[in-house]
Structure 1
Amino acid sequence: MKILITGKNGQLGRALQILAPQGVRPVFLGREELNISNPAAVASVLDKVRPEVLLNAAGYTAVDKAESDATEAFAVNAIGAESLALACKEFGVRLLHVSTDFVFDGLKSSPYTVQDPVRPLGVYGESKVAGEEAVRAALPDAVIVRTAWLYSAHGNNFVNTMLRLMAERDQLGVVVDQIGTPTWAGTLARVLYALAYDGSARGVYHYTDAGAASWYDFAVAIYEEAKSVGLLPADREIQIKPIATSEYPTAAIRPQYSVLDKKRLVSQLGLDLPHWRQTLRRALEEMKCSSGEKSAPSTTHRRTAGSEVAESMGIPGNE
């Protein structure tokens, strides 16, 4: 299967490169090779590559910056998504598109289902909603996967920020009244490949790792697990204080509750989802390995798509 994957330099794009299973011929493109907001450029690339599947992992994800940079946010997240969808329609290519929990307003107190109405709170969420709508209008059978609180060893994300601050400071204040689910890019990448192989998949799915947490809970877990695997000294003592959102103002309003209901995806793929704390531990172990103190874990080796997905979902394996 030839899969064209956009956003190769992002944290999800890098995970997709590492975890590409045997049987896949991936073609990875970054913005320097393809501006997805340019319809002519997108059509030209699809005409040349002729993939069976296009997986759109590209996105404008600077949530706060989007409030003052709406033109660029919509160019990538809305116009870019539409350009890809229209080109996929022209060339008969199946499309998988990655979206976000920020399409919701966070006012529910139970996990958001794929049927729940979207009500974004800011420019980033609005641009992602516009992208989803454009994809559905062009390709009703396209797959849209919403995810949340994504992290990996690469890029700007909560885990990397916390590890840096925990090495520098003796006290941290972390928001306790926003609830969601941390999601490792490694597990999301495996799920996306599984959906690419499943020709019957269509419509909207939600994927995060299992469970729920506040940012404060997530920070405490990072601290404990990082000490356990040796990313922080075992005797390093840090006070982590829970704070309210009002004590940490940001340009963009964030959903207070954005846990996603994964039942439709679990039913589609028949997978057991790992808990976010398990995948966090796995991610930190791999970060420790990548420092050169241990050999790289075998889970980064290429395998058949079926065994890759089954292993990663049976055993633990964050936009």
Structure 2
Amino acid sequence: MTILVFGRTGQVAREMAAHAGVTCLGRSKANLEQPASCAAAIRAAAPQAVINAAAFTAVDRAEEEEALATVINAAAPTAMARECAALGIPFVSISTDYVFDGSGDAPWKPADPTRPLGAYGRSKLAGEQGIKQAGGAYGILRTSWVVSAHGNNFVKTMRRLGAERGQLSIVADQIGGPTPARNIAAACLFMAQQLIKDAGKTGIYHFAGAPDTSWAGFARSIFAELEIDCDVTDIPSGEYPTPARRPLNSRLDCSSLETTFGITRPDWRQGLRDILQDLENAS
């Protein structure tokens, strides 16, 4: 089985590259700023399925570069989805909890109304809409709080800052599920394999680590695993202003993914231990 993956250096793409039968395309092979090149890459590769693991993920920068974010997060995956539909192969793409406004405290279901708070969420939602309208078999996987031993993410930042400082103030009113990139990669690959066999599984699904926690709670768990003595002070989001508003409620209802694909929420605490071990081995 050959699966073409857009992305090479991102957290999820790097995890996918370790799987047999996967070909990952970097920017030099397929530039998401040029959507037509993405469609051409699919035609040339003639894979059995395509996964989009590449995106414009700089949430704050997207506020100033929304046009570029929209090309990368909407126009490019739409072009990919249309080419896949024309070839009769399934397309899987990663989306985000940022398509919701973060209100309330109930876990968001795939069919819940979307209302992005900022440019990043708008661009990802536009991508979802383009994929659905392409007319082929697809799986959109919304996820949250991605972490790994690669790239820039909360685990690596806390590992560094915790060793440098004795106290940190961390946002405690944003609640969600930290999600290891390794688990996201495995989920996307399994979805693609299943969609090859059964296009009826097409749809939008949610996937996030369990249990839900706050950024402050997550930081405490990181320091506990590292045996770092760093005191965490809870603060509200208003005391840590950013150009883009973050959703307060990023809880995701992942039950439909389990019902349809048999994929359960991963325990991020075990994922955290694996990430820290990978970082230790690499140091």
Alignment of 1:104-115 (within 5 A): 104-115=100-111
**Is the counterpart of residue 133 in structure 1 residue 168 in structure 2?**
no
Q: How many residues align?
A: 279
Per the alignment, residue 7 of structure 1 pairs with: 7
Alignment of 1:98-247 (within 5 A): 98-139=94-135, 141-199=137-195, 200=198, 201-227=201-227, 236-247=228-239
User: Which runs of at least 4 in structure 1 moved beyond 6 Å after TM superposition?
Assistant: none
Between the aligned partners of 1:274 and 1:97, the Cα distance in structure 2 is 19
Between the aligned partners of 1:180 and 1:246, the Cα distance in structure 2 is 18
Name the stretch that deviates more: 38-47 or 205-214: 38-47
Distance 1:271 1:44, change over 3 A: closer
Contact 2:60 2:243 in 1 (8 A): yes
SS in 2 for 1:224: helix
SS in 2 for 1:114: coil
Shift of residue 265 of structure 1? 0.5
Between the aligned partners of 1:7 and 1:72, the Cα distance in structure 2 is 17
Structure 1, unaligned stretches of length 5 or more? 228-235, 292-319
Name the stretch that deviates more: 43-52 or 252-261: 43-52
How large is the RMSD of aligned CA atoms in angstroms? Answer: 1.4
Per the alignment, residue 83 of structure 1 pairs with: 79
Alignment of 1:267-282 (within 5 A): 267-282=259-274
Contact 2:16 2:22 in 1 (8 A): no
Contact 1:81 1:134 in 2 (8 A): yes
Between the aligned partners of 1:105 and 1:90, the Cα distance in structure 2 is 34
Contact 2:97 2:143 in 1 (8 A): yes
Letter in 2 for 1:126: R
C-alpha offsets along residues 257-291 of structure 1, whole Å, 9 cap, x if unaligned? 01100100111222443322222122212322333
**Is the counterpart of residue 260 in structure 1 residue 252 in structure 2?**
yes
Between the aligned partners of 2:215 and 2:89, the Cα distance in structure 1 is 38
Between the aligned partners of 1:196 and 1:82, the Cα distance in structure 2 is 17
Letter in 2 for 1:245: S
C-alpha offsets along residues 137-193 of structure 1, whole Å, 9 cap, x if unaligned? 003531100000001111111111111111211211000011011000011111111
Structure 2, unaligned stretches of length 5 or more? none
Shift of residue 42 of structure 1? 2.1
Per the alignment, residue 296 of structure 1 pairs with: none
Contact 2:172 2:237 in 1 (8 A): yes
Between the aligned partners of 2:211 and 2:257, the Cα distance in structure 1 is 15
C-alpha offsets along residues 33-78 of structure 1, whole Å, 9 cap, x if unaligned? 2113424312321221101100000100000110011111111001
Contact 2:206 2:252 in 1 (8 A): yes
Contact 2:33 2:68 in 1 (8 A): no
Per the alignment, residue 24 of structure 2 pairs with: 28
SS in 2 for 1:241: strand
Between the aligned partners of 1:57 and 1:177, the Cα distance in structure 2 is 29
Distance 1:39 1:216, change over 3 A: closer
Contact 1:142 1:203 in 2 (8 A): yes
Contact 1:174 1:215 in 2 (8 A): yes
**Is the counterpart of residue 49 in structure 1 residue 45 in structure 2?**
yes
